[in-house]
Amino acid sequence: MRERLRGAAQESRELLAELHTTLGELHAARRIAIFSPMAGEPDLTPLMTAMPLHDWLFPRVDGDRLHFHLVQDAAEQLKPGAFGIREPTSGLPMSAIADIDIFICPGLAFDTTGGRLGRGRGFYDRLLGEANEKALKIGVGFACQLVDTTYPEAHDIPMDAVLCKG
């Protein structure tokens, strides 16, 4: 999958359009957790401008855990952090995991039954295990990341929806 992502030309426009529509239909959802992309992942930060009435939360690595912080200006408030990924700068308000309405999750691969294959450190599976049971979990990636099965294990948290486009 890593080789497939390196060799594929990815375009986020179609994915962003579908996410915009999906999130727009969820009127009660206000606090949305997204992520800064690493190589081979879609850049979702344009959603912040397109949907300014939401609270956008980005992860910051703290040991083996993720903590989500409110970010209002990605260009100013996200700086290189763990693994070279842009993270919220220190001092930004942190959100309790249970208060997040929607988690938009990255992954290496996804399947149509909600399976998500992460990158092996278990950050999102640990995090989602603490989420509010009503929180929506959406796995996002490019079309080349959709596979027949991700071979889920007992600790894997399934997605409620998977959007792989582009």
Query: For 66-110, what is each residue's pLDDT tens digit?
Result: 999 999 999 999 999 988 899 999 899 999 999 999 999 999 999
| Percent of all residues in the chain with a pLDDT value above 90, rounded to a whole number | 72
Residue 6 has pLDDT above 70, yes or no: no
CATH code of residue 125: 3.40.50.10420
**Mean pLDDT, range 116-132, rounded to an integer:** 89
Kindly report, residue by residue over 134-164, the tens digit of the pLDDT. Answer: 999 999 999 989 999 999 888 889 999 999 9
pTM of the model: 0.92
The pLDDT of residue 9 is 56
Q: Residue 122's pLDDT band (boundaries 50, 70, 90)?
A: confident
**Structural domain harbouring 124:** 2-164
Residue 22 has pLDDT above 60, yes or no: yes
The pLDDT of residue 7 is 57
Number of folded domains that form the chain:
1
The pLDDT of residue 34 is 97
CA 136 to chain centre: 12
The pLDDT of residue 93 is 97
Residue 108 in contact with residue 122, Cβ under 8 Å?
Answer: no
Kindly report, residue by residue over 36-54, the tens digit of the pLDDT. Answer: 998 888 999 999 999 999 9
Residue 110 in contact with residue 162, Cβ under 8 Å?
Answer: yes
